[in-house]
């Protein structure tokens, strides 16, 4: 850190986040150049930065959309304009389902689900909003944190 910058930061209450825009842009471009070179898409999870500015940099650099942990995070990111949004964790409850259905009216939206109850809530909310909410079925691969562990049940849900 330069001496001048060090002196400026002494007057800022802590904690605070100091980032160098040039380094962030270089790192973001490196990620998307690598993805392009190897033929895969990147969907950054915004839970670590929760920043509209950084999300915009990621999208402008090639992100296919964003992933969010919670409905509120997705609603905030939706301020960026039309987005492809994935909610990475199950959003249980009628209020959350209705908010997600509302988001899906303007954005391509998918929600991770780990129960038939969650699927039903999203389906009912989507019907009320006359929209479509995509789902990703979470498979429990043995950690028992969330998800379906019965492959037959997953197949039945996909039909």
pLDDT at 30 over 90: yes
pLDDT for 1: 53
- Please give the backbone phi and psi of residue 100, each rounded to the nearest 5 degrees, phi first: -65, -40
Average pLDDT over residues 25-49: 95
Q: Is the pLDDT of residue 8 over 90?
A: no
| Band (29; pLDDT cuts 50, 70, 90) | very high
Q: Where are the domains of the chain?
A: 41-158
pLDDT tier at 100, thresholds 50, 70, 90: very high
Burial code (b: 16+ CB inside 10 Å, e: under 16) for 116-147 equals eebbebbeebbeebebbbebebbeeeeeeeeb
Share of the chain above pLDDT 90, in %: 67
Whether the predicted pLDDT of 105 surpasses 90: yes
Contacts of 126 (CB under 8 A, 6+ apart): 101, 104, 132, 133
Is residue 154 very low, low, confident or very high in pLDDT (cuts 50, 70, 90)?
Answer: confident
pLDDT band at 54 (very low <50, low <70, confident <90, very high): very high
Q: How far apart are CA 74 and CA 83, in angstroms?
A: 10
- E-strand ranges in the chain read 66-68, 84-87, 108-113, 134-137
The residues pairing with 135 across neighbouring beta strands, listed in sequence order, are 111
Domain 41-158 CATH assignment equals 3.40.50.300: no
């Amino acid at each position: 850190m330069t001496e001048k910058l060090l002196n400026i930061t002494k007057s800022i209450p802590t904690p605070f986040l100091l980032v160098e825009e040039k380094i962030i842009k270089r790192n973001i471009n490196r990620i998307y150049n690598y993805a392009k070179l190897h033929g895969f898409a990147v969907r950054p999870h915004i839970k670590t930065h929760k920043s509209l500015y950084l999300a915009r940099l990621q999208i402008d650099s090639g992100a296919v959309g964003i992933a969010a942990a919670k409905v509120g995070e997705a609603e905030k990111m939706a301020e960026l304009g039309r987005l492809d949004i994935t909610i990475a964790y199950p959003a249980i409850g009628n209020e959350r389902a209705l908010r997600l259905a509302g988001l899906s009216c303007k954005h391509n939206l998918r929600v991770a689900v780990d129960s038939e109850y969650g699927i039903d809530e999203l389906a009912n909310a989507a019907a009320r909003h006359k929209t479509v909410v995509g789902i990703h079925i979470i498979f429990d691969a043995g950690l028992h944190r969330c998800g379906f562990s019965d492959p037959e049940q997953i197949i039945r849900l996909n039909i």
